[in-house]
Amino acid sequence: MAGTKVYEQRRAESLRIMAETDAKRSKINELLDYIETRLEELEEEKEELKEFQDKDKERRCLEYALYQRELEEVTETLAEIEDERKAELHGTNIRHERYSVREKEIQVRSFIFSIYLKILYSLESREGNIRSKSLPRNNQPIASRYSNRADRLHSIKDRIRLSHRGPQSGRSERRWGTRRIASRATEY
C-alpha cells in the first residue's frame, strides 16, 4: 500500500497541477481573447487614423492652394494699385510741370505787357509831341510821313490789345508787334 499511497499523492498533485494549468490556460485564453479584441479595435483605430491623416493632408493641401490663390490675387491687386498710383503720380507731376510752365509764361507775358505799355505810352507821348509841332503847309512829304507814322502807331496799339485777349489768340500778332515796335521805336 505504500505504493498506492504515493501513487494517489502524485495523482492528486498531478490533478491539482492540471487544474491549475487549466485555470491558467482559461485565463490565458481569456487574455488572448481580450488581446485579439483589443488588436481588432486598435487595427480599426489605426485605419481611422490613417484615413484622418490622409484627409488632414488633403485638407492642408487644399488650404495651401486656397491661400496661394488668395495671395496671388492680392499680389496682383496690389500691383495694379501700385501701377495706378504711379500713373496718378506721373499725371500729377506732368500737371505740376504744366502749371509751372504756365506760371512762368504768365510772368513773361506780364513783363512783356508792361514793356508794351511803356512803349505804347512812349509812342503816344511822341505822337502828342509831333502833333503839337506845327508842320509847314507846303511840306507835303513830312505830312505824309507823320500820317504814316500815326497809322502805324494805331496799328501797333491794336495789335497789342489783340495780343492780350487770350493765351492762344494773337500769338503771331504779338510776335509781329514785338518786332515791329522794336524796329519802329528806333525810327522815332
Q: In sequence order, what E strands does the chain have?
A: none
Domain edges within the chain: 134-188
Q: Could you report the per-residue pLDDT of 112-158, keeping only the tens digit for each?
A: 888 888 888 887 777 666 665 544 555 555 556 556 666 776 777 77
Question: Is residue 7 very low, low, confident or very high in pLDDT (cuts 50, 70, 90)?
Answer: confident
Q: Could you report the per-residue pLDDT of 13-49, keeping only the tens digit for each?
A: 999 999 999 999 999 999 999 999 999 999 999 999 9
CA distance 16 to 23: 10
CA distance 158 to 173: 10
* Secondary structure class of 135 (helix, strand, coil): coil
Contacts of 153 (CB under 8 A, 6+ apart): 123, 124, 127, 184
Q: 123, 134 in Cβ contact below 8 A?
A: no
CA distance 99 to 110: 16
Q: Could you report the per-residue pLDDT of 63-104, keeping only the tens digit for each?
A: 999 999 999 999 999 999 999 999 999 999 999 999 999 999
